[in-house]
Amino acid sequence: MARDLKKLISEMTLEEKAGLCSGADFWHTKAVERLGIPAVMVSDGPHGLRKQDQEGDHLGINDSIVAVCFPAACATASSFDTEMIHHMGDVIGQECQAEDLSVVLGPAVNIKRSPLCGRNFEYFSEDPFLAGKMAAAYISGVQKWDVGTSIKHFAANNQEHRRMSVNDEVSERTLREIYFPAFEEAVKKAQPKTVMCSYNKINGTYSSDNQWLLTQVLRRDWGFKGYVMTDWGAVDDRVQGIRAGLDLEMPASNGENDRKIVEAVQSGMLDEKLVDQAAERILEVIFSYVDHRHPEAVFDRDADHEKAVEIETQCAVLLQNNGVLPLKASDRIAYIGEFADKPRYQGGGSSHINSSKVTSALSSAQRKGRKVTYVKGFSADADVEDEEEIRKAVAAAVEADVAVIFAGLPDSFESEGYDRDNMKLPECQNRMIEAVLKVQPNTVVILHNGSPVECPWAERTAGILEMYLGGQGVGEATDQLLYGEVNPSGHLAESFPLHLEDNPSYLFFPGDGHTARYAEGVFVGYRYYDTKKLPVRWAFGHGLSYTTFAYDHMKVSADHMTGDSILTVSVDVKNTGSVKGKEVVQLYVRDLNKTAERPLKELKGFAKTELEPGETKTVQMQICARDLSYFEERLGDWYAPSGDYELLIGSASDDIRCSGRISFKTEKLLPLKVAGDTTIGELMSDPRTAQTVQKMMQEAGKDSPLTQSSSDAGQEAVSDKMMQEMMAGMPLKSLVSFGMMNLEQMEGLIAMLNQSL
């Protein structure tokens, strides 16, 4: 039904409009019953519903309804499968309709700047391109059911330490290239109903007060149409927030901030039209849900549990395998570590789900009659060594054909609210792994963690399977993968550095508590490791399979492109093994023009394809001018210099199989203002000034003392390259010193060049 929201707002009092701009309680918007405006409920979280009806809290302390916990974003991003996460969103959207939830608070797309961020398990990736594609697909899936999403946390929420007040010092280029694109892609492609602003300041201004962020970037640059809500308690200056484009404050403020809005309008400090605008945005989203209920929606927890299992099988990453996996039904297997019986499958904090059931790898194996023995070995929730348990584990490993150690991070090691101190597994687990490796070369390690961990024993293990935080079906999924019922197909959405100190943010994270300097700029994750040629444990995009794949016949639809071009890049992928499998094909772009401060390569395309043994498929991806570009602050826009670019296709950022070159031509020109310190090289490289300066140099250089002295110099003292480089780096003011022109001539040249520009 069509509603005249402007008419409805005209019938509201100022107090009612201001009241609509804050929550009624922890989870509900305010109702205006006399005008037929209902209250609606919002709820965490991105990987399952955390609906709380009574005593609400934002940190998962109180119980919520029994729901289904799907794999967390750390896992789903590793699927590199937009169709799969769209399906997961579809399931969650139906659950929301069945539970009368108007908005699900997710997805969370903040970039994994440091492995230590306590909330990394909720975030997709270190790469903004991948995060944006996954987020847009998830949002489209949820919103099929006329349920809203709230993409979060906008923006630069990349640590938990002092997250509610820290000031992030970060350049606009870094924001535009690394920390904004996932939001931008989701807004442009999927239009989430709401955006949640973050707690932190960005360059001195709280996100909730930041007009440039919430209005210029989000609405004008990207075309966002929904409402902006706060993270819980993120309001700084409520009146400035309305001016900036912050619509809904959550939770309620006991009327304090509503009163400030009313007083500001009455005193003339705030234009009432801005309050009307916020109210209209909120009502648009409320009624888009209220007017489109789905009575056919059901929340079938058992059916959705099976979907959670299936999804996790597509997310797990086979990091290492010397042939011991998949396990054989006849193998005698020793399961070691309490995670085999009590898996860690979700993170702590606001996304914590009250799960309907949880399967373990041990119970799944026992149900299927696997030849498995179990030794607790170490606790799933503490770092405590037990010599007797180590002895039992070693004895079991000796008797087995294969030892499978279920390792990972206890709940207390990573959670919302605080960051990790290091990248290490509990010491009791490392010691157990070392002890077992001494007696059993066929040792496999299963990892349950939300972020990278250091694995000093990795090179000596027979296999490593990264399950991440795989949701409530993680145990059954682990069993299926270990025994080859499903072929692993996940690829890492983040790099695993060898040591924490290798991470580019190491010197700056998390800051002094007041300021966090993003001094590494755009060199985040593999952009840093690849550019610096720094070895990592496992690279971004890495993932093995029980089969093998060959790449061939890479083709590009054209060898030249302009600003309006869209090129198609294709490659043939063949399953060269003996079992069916899925491969993640990745497309990277490299700038060959020696453009300053650009990463060696950047992900600009990916596709997941399933192949039978011996089957070949042609995979296609597209690139446009934006994919070649960096954000040029002098232009305030995206810019790719004319020249050559390399297109690289591979299975990981460090496993490139094919490459090709294209040329690019742009009509964009960088701004140039000529002054005395402008160099000859700058002027010669700009087509607007090159001809004039070249002619000037030819005339002025005939009798120059510099030219004369260089012609008299010995070949050993002065080379042609030296002279070329010296002249290129020489500022105009120095030409006066070397007698190539006088001061009046130089000033005239500067004026002429600036006039032509």
- Measure Cα distances from 237 to 233, 241, 750 in Å: 12, 6, 48
What pLDDT is attached to residue 682?
Answer: 86
Q: Average per-residue pLDDT in the chain? A: 94
Would residue 19 count as lying in a domain?
Answer: no
What pLDDT is attached to residue 685?
Answer: 83
Would residue 7 count as lying in a domain?
Answer: no
Asked if residue 707 and residue 602 are part of one domain, the reply reads no
Catalytic residues: 231
Does residue 381 surpass a pLDDT of 80? yes
CA–CA dist 60, 411 (Å, integer): 13
CA–CA dist 182, 143 (Å, integer): 18
Asked if residue 95 and residue 221 are part of one domain, the reply reads yes
Asked if residue 141 and residue 235 are part of one domain, the reply reads yes
What pLDDT is attached to residue 60?
Answer: 52
* pLDDT single digits (tens) 511-538: 998 999 999 999 999 999 999 999 999 9
What pLDDT is attached to residue 223?
Answer: 98
Provide mean pLDDT across the span 643-672: 96
Does residue 706 surpass a pLDDT of 80? no
Asked if residue 576 and residue 480 are part of one domain, the reply reads no
Domain harbouring 620, CATH code: 2.60.40.10
Does residue 710 surpass a pLDDT of 60? no
Paired with 560 in beta bridges are 663
Asked if residue 473 and residue 594 are part of one domain, the reply reads no
- Give 57-60's long-range contacts (Cβ < 8 A, gap of 24+): 57/26, 58/26, 58/232, 58/233, 58/251, 58/350, 59/349, 59/350, 59/416, 59/417, 60/348, 60/349, 60/350, 60/351, 60/352
Asked if residue 320 and residue 241 are part of one domain, the reply reads no
Does residue 744 surpass a pLDDT of 70? yes
What pLDDT is attached to residue 421?
Answer: 94
Asked if residue 532 and residue 400 are part of one domain, the reply reads yes
Query: Which amino acid is located at 40 in the chain?
Result: V
Asked if residue 457 and residue 366 are part of one domain, the reply reads yes
Paired with 464 in beta bridges are 320, 445
Asked if residue 176 and residue 75 are part of one domain, the reply reads yes
What pLDDT is attached to residue 756?
Answer: 80
Would residue 13 count as lying in a domain?
Answer: no
Would you give the distance in Å from CA 276 to the centre of its chain?
A: 34
Provide mean pLDDT across the span 444-462: 98
How many helices (DSSP H) and strands (DSSP E) are in the chain? 24, 29
CA–CA dist 389, 393 (Å, integer): 6
Asked if residue 372 and residue 403 are part of one domain, the reply reads yes
Residue with tokens 């071009």: 565
Asked if residue 401 and residue 427 are part of one domain, the reply reads yes
Number of other CB atoms surrounding residue 282 within 10 Å: 25
Query: Which amino acid is located at 242 in the chain?
Result: I
Provide mean pLDDT across the span 460-477: 98
CA–CA dist 658, 3 (Å, integer): 55
Residue at which a domain ends, from 538, 571, 601: 538
Residue with the bigger pLDDT between 703 and 674: it is: 674
Inter-residue contact 733 to 746 (CB < 8 Å): yes
Number of other CB atoms surrounding residue 172 within 10 Å: 14
Number of other CB atoms surrounding residue 7 within 10 Å: 8
Q: Which of 70-74, 260-264, 456-460, 709-713 is predicted least confidently?
A: 709-713
Residue with tokens 């990972």: 408
Which pair of structure tokens corresponds to residue 544? 């093995």
Tell me whether residue 561 is exposed, middle or buried, using C-beta atoms within 10 angstroms of its C-beta: 0 to 12, 13 to 18, 19 or more: buried
Domain around 582? 549-665
CA–CA dist 80, 132 (Å, integer): 11
What DSSP designation does 249 have?
B
Inter-residue contact 279 to 10 (CB < 8 Å): no
Does residue 712 surpass a pLDDT of 60? no
Does residue 699 surpass a pLDDT of 90? no
* pLDDT single digits (tens) 4-22: 999 999 999 999 999 999 9
Would residue 94 count as lying in a domain?
Answer: yes
Would residue 413 count as lying in a domain?
Answer: yes
What pLDDT is attached to residue 723?
Answer: 73
Would residue 106 count as lying in a domain?
Answer: yes
Does residue 702 surpass a pLDDT of 60? no
Does residue 62 surpass a pLDDT of 90? no
Residue at which a domain ends, from 632, 665, 698: 665
Residue with the bigger pLDDT between 726 and 148: it is: 148
* pLDDT single digits (tens) 315-348: 999 999 999 999 999 999 999 999 999 999 999 8
Provide mean pLDDT across the span 37-52: 92
Phi/psi region, residue 724 (left: phi>0; alpha: psi -120 to 50; beta: rest), is alpha
Tell me whether residue 388 is exposed, middle or buried, using C-beta atoms within 10 angstroms of its C-beta: 0 to 12, 13 to 18, 19 or more: exposed
What pLDDT is attached to residue 514?
Answer: 96
What pLDDT is attached to residue 257?
Answer: 96
Domain harbouring 384, CATH code: 3.40.50.1700
Q: What percent of the chain has pLDDT over 70?
A: 96
Provide mean pLDDT across the span 562-591: 97
Does residue 619 surpass a pLDDT of 70? yes
Is residue 345 helix, strand or coil? coil
Would residue 95 count as lying in a domain?
Answer: yes
Domain harbouring 121, CATH code: 3.20.20.300
Paired sense of beta strands 194-197 and 148-154, if any = parallel
Residue at which a domain ends, from 226, 259, 290: 290
Does residue 45 surpass a pLDDT of 80? no
Inter-residue contact 628 to 621 (CB < 8 Å): no
Would residue 670 count as lying in a domain?
Answer: no
Considering just the CA atoms, what is the radius of gyration of the chain in Å? 29
Tally the domains of the chain.
4
Asked if residue 334 and residue 443 are part of one domain, the reply reads yes
Does residue 63 surpass a pLDDT of 80? no
Does residue 123 surpass a pLDDT of 60? yes
Query: Which amino acid is located at 170 in the chain?
Result: V
